[in-house]
C-alpha cells in the first residue's frame, strides 16, 4: 500500500462554514467530488460546485427530525473500507458502496448550549451522534482517509492542499486523526461533565487550546496552562503570563474572595505578606504594604475595589509583577502602564472550579476546595475569658489568612491588618517565632494582637510565647488530646481562646 493517497471523494457536513469555501474550491479544482447533507449541500452548491445528497447515496431521507442522516452502511462502508483488503474491496463492489477519502465534519455546539443556560431538552439535542461517529470512523481508517473534525483544522488542511494538491501522506492523515480524537474525547468529556453535575464521580477533563507559558517553575522546565484564563481576566497590559504568575494569581483570587469588605492584599510565593481591610483603597493599600514592605518587592497585588489615580501613584512607587482589580480609572491606567512589563489584569465575574487537582506519582489527586469560612457564630469559647468584639473581628480575619498560608502556619493580626505570619515551617513553634520576629522588625506593637493557627496546639508552648509577645486572643481548630494544657495556660494568664473545629492545612 502506497503511503501517499489521492482524495477523490469527500463527505462534507458541517455546522461552521466560515473558511470552508476556499477549501471546497481548491478540492473542486483538483477533481474531487462531494457528497453532503442539508444546509452544507446548499452551501456547496451556492459556490457552483456539484454535490450529491447523502439521501441519494443511502436511499433514505433524513429522519427523526434530523437525528439520523449519515448513519448508514453506504456512508460508513465508504469510509471504513480498507483499500488493501481484498475482502473489503469485494464487498464494496458487491454493495456498490463508493469510497470516501476525505471527511470534513464538525460537532453540534454542546458546550456553548450549556453555557447559554438553555433548557435540558435543547442541550440534549446538541449531543451529536452522526458527526461523532463519522469522526471516529474516518480517524480509525487514517491509513486511507483524511478526517477534518473541527474548523480549527481548516487551515492545516488548506496548507496541505496548497502544498500537495489532493495528495496526502500517511503522516498527514495520522496527524489529522490525532487531532480528531482530541476533538471527540473533549466532546465526550464535556457531555459527561454535564451529566455528572460537578460531582466528580469520574475524572474527565479536556482543553483544546492551552496557554503556552514562557517556562515552568524554573527556566529549564517547559509549561502550558490548560484552562480558560480569558474567561476570568482581561489582560490589558504587560508581558506574557508565566507559570509562577499563575500560581500567585490563583492564590490571590482565592484569598481576596474571603473578604466582603474593601480589602487590599500583597502576595509573594502564594502567601500573603501584607493585607488589610479599610474604608478606602488607599488606606487598605498603605496598611497592607506596612505589613512587610520588603517582601512586597516583586509581589502580586490584588484588591476587590476599583483603583483610581491616587492609589495608582502610591503603588507605582514599588516594583511588582502583577496587579488585579475589578476596575481601573483611565488616569490610573496611565500611571500603572508606565512599566511596560507590569501585568495588569481586570478580573471578570466568573466562577472558579470548586475542585482542586494535583498530579503526583502516576496519577492525580482531586479534592474539594477549602471553601469553609468561619463566622462569629462558629466560634466555640475554650477559656474563661471571652474575646472582645474587636478581638473577634481580628480572630476571624486572622483565620482567613492562616487558611491561605502554607503549613505550618501562624498569622498575627491587629485591627484587621496582617502584622506578620510564620509559614512553611516544620515546627509550629518556629512559625510563631518567625512571625513575632518579623512583626518586631517592622515595629508592630503586638500588645492586643490576636493569633491564628491552622492546626491545634499539642503543647502550651505556642500560647506561652504568644502571651509573652503581648497577644491577647487565640483562634485554633481544637481537637488535640492535650487541648487542656493550652487552655489552662490561657486561663491562668488571662488570654482568650476560641476553637473552630475546622483545620486549614495547606501544603
Q: Is 286 a catalytic residue?
A: no
Question: How far does Cα 11 stand from its chain's mean position?
Answer: 36
Given a contact cutoff of 8 angstroms between Cβ atoms, the answer to whether 329 and 309 are in contact is yes
The answer to whether the CB of 455 falls within 8 A of the CB of 477 is: yes
Q: Among 413, 475, 495, which residue's Cα sits nearest to residue 449?
A: 413
Alpha-carbon distance of 295 to 341, in angstroms, equals: 20
Nearest to 502 by CA among 393, 371, 414, 397: 371
CA angle (455 as vertex; 360, 444 as ends), nearest 5: 110
SS3 17: coil
Q: How far apart are CA 238 and CA 220, in angstroms?
A: 23
Q: Report the SS3 class of residue 52.
A: strand
What is the spatial distance between Cα 310 and Cα 314, in angstroms, rounded to a whole number?
A: 7
**DSSP 8-state secondary structure symbol assigned to residue 98:** P
Strand 418-422 with 5-6, pairing: unpaired
- CA dist 69 and 91 (Å) reads 22
Residue of 89, 140, 309, 339 marked catalytic: 140
Q: Which of 126, 120, 132 has its CA nearest to residue 197?
A: 120
- Single out the catalytic residue among 164, 237, 269, 433: 269
269 is catalytic: yes
DSSP letter at 443 equals T
Closest by CA to 418, choosing from 430, 442, 431, 401, is 401
Give long-range contacts, CB 8 A cutoff, 24+ apart: 355-360. 355/198, 355/200, 357/203
Instruction: Identify which of 493, 417, 439 has the alpha carbon closest to the alpha carbon of residue 263.
Output: 417
Peptide bond into 408 cis (omega under 30): yes
Short-list 134, 213, 217, 148, CA closest to 178: 148
Q: Strands, DSSP E only, in 151-280?
A: 167-168, 211-212, 224-225, 233-237, 263-268, 271-277
Q: Give yes or no for a contact between 160 and 172, defined as CB atoms under 8 angstroms apart.
A: yes
The grid coordinates listed for 272 are 500573603
Report, as residue numbers or ranges, the catalytic residues.
140, 269
Amino acid at each position: 500500500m502506497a503511503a501517499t493517497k489521492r482524495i477523490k471523494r469527500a463527505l462534507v457536513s458541517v455546522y461552521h462554514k466560515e473558511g470552508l469555501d476556499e477549501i471546497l474550491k481548491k478540492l473542486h479544482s483538483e477533481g474531487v467530488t462531494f457528497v453532503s447533507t442539508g444546509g452544507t449541500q446548499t452551501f456547496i452548491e451556492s459556490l457552483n460546485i456539484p454535490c450529491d445528497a447523502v439521501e441519494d447515496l443511502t436511499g433514505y431521507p433524513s429522519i427523526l427530525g434530523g437525528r439520523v442522516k449519515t448513519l448508514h452502511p453506504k456512508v460508513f462502508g465508504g469510509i471504513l473500507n480498507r483499500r488493501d483488503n481484498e475482502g473489503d474491496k469485494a464487498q464494496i463492489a458487491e454493495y456498490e458502496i463508493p469510497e470516501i477519502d476525505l471527511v470534513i465534519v464538525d460537532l453540534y455546539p454542546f458546550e456553548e448550549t450549556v453555557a447559554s443556560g438553555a433548557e435540558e431538552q435543547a442541550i440534549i439535542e446538541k449531543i451529536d451522534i452522526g458527526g461523532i461517529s463519522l469522526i471516529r470512523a474516518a480517524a480509525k481508517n487514517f491509513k486511507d482517509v483524511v478526517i477534518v473534525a473541527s474548523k480549527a483544522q481548516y487551515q492545516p488542511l488548506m496548507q496541505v492542499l496548497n502544498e500537495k494538491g489532493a495528495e496526502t501522506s500517511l503522516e498527514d492523515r495520522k496527524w489529522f486523526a490525532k487531532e480528531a480524537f482530541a476533538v471527540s474525547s473533549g466532546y465526550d468529556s464535556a457531555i459527561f461533565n454535564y451529566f455528572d453535575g460537578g460531582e466528580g464521580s469520574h475524572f474527565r477533563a479536556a482543553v483544546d487550546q492551552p496557554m503556552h507559558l514562557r517556562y515552568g517553575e524554573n527556566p529549564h522546565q517547559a509549561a502550558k496552562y490548560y484552562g480558560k484564563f480569558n474567561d476570568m481576566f482581561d489582560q490589558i497590559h504587560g508581558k506574557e503570563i508565566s507559570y509562577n504568575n499563575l500560581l500567585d494569581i490563583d492564590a490571590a483570587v482565592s484569598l481576596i474572595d474571603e473578604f466582603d469588605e474593601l480589602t487590599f492584599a500583597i502576595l509573594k510565593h502564594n502567601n500573603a505578606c501584607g493585607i488589610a481591610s479599610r474604608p478606602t483603597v488607599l488606606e487598605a493599600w498603605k496598611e497592607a504594604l506596612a505589613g512587610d514592605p520588603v517582601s512586597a518587592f516583586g509581589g502580586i497585588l490584588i484588591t476587590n475595589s476599583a483603583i483610581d489615580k491616587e492609589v495608582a501613584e502610591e503603588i507605582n512607587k514599588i516594583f511588582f509583577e502583577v496587579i488585579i482589580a475589578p476596575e481601573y480609572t483611565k488616569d490610573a491606567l496611565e500611571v500603572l502602564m508606565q512599566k511596560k512589563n507590569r501585568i495588569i489584569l481586570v478580573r471578570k465575574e466568573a466562577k472558579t472550579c470548586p475542585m482542586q487537582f494535583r498530579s503526583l506519582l502516576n496519577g492525580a489527586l482531586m479534592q474539594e476546595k477549602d471553601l469553609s469560612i468561619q463566622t462569629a457564630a462558629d466560634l466555640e469559647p475554650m477559656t474563661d475569658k471571652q474575646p472582645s468584639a474587636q478581638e473577634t473581628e481580628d480572630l476571624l480575619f486572622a483565620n482567613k489568612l492562616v487558611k491561605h498560608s502554607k503549613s505550618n502556619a501562624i498569622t498575627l493580626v491587629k485591627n484587621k491588618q496582617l502584622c506578620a505570619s510564620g509559614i512553611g515551617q516544620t515546627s509550629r513553634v518556629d512559625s510563631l517565632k518567625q512571625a513575632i520576629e518579623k512583626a518586631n522588625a517592622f515595629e508592630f506593637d503586638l500588645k492586643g494582637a490576636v493569633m491564628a493557627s491552622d492546626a491545634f496546639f499539642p503543647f502550651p508552648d505556642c500560647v506561652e510565647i504568644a502571651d509573652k509577645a503581648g497577644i491577647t486572643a487565640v483562634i485554633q481548630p481544637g481537637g488535640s488530646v492535650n487541648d487542656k494544657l493550652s487552655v489552662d495556660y490561657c486561663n491562668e494568664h488571662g488570654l482568650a481562646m476560641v476553637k473552630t473545629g475546622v483545620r486549614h492545612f495547606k501544603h
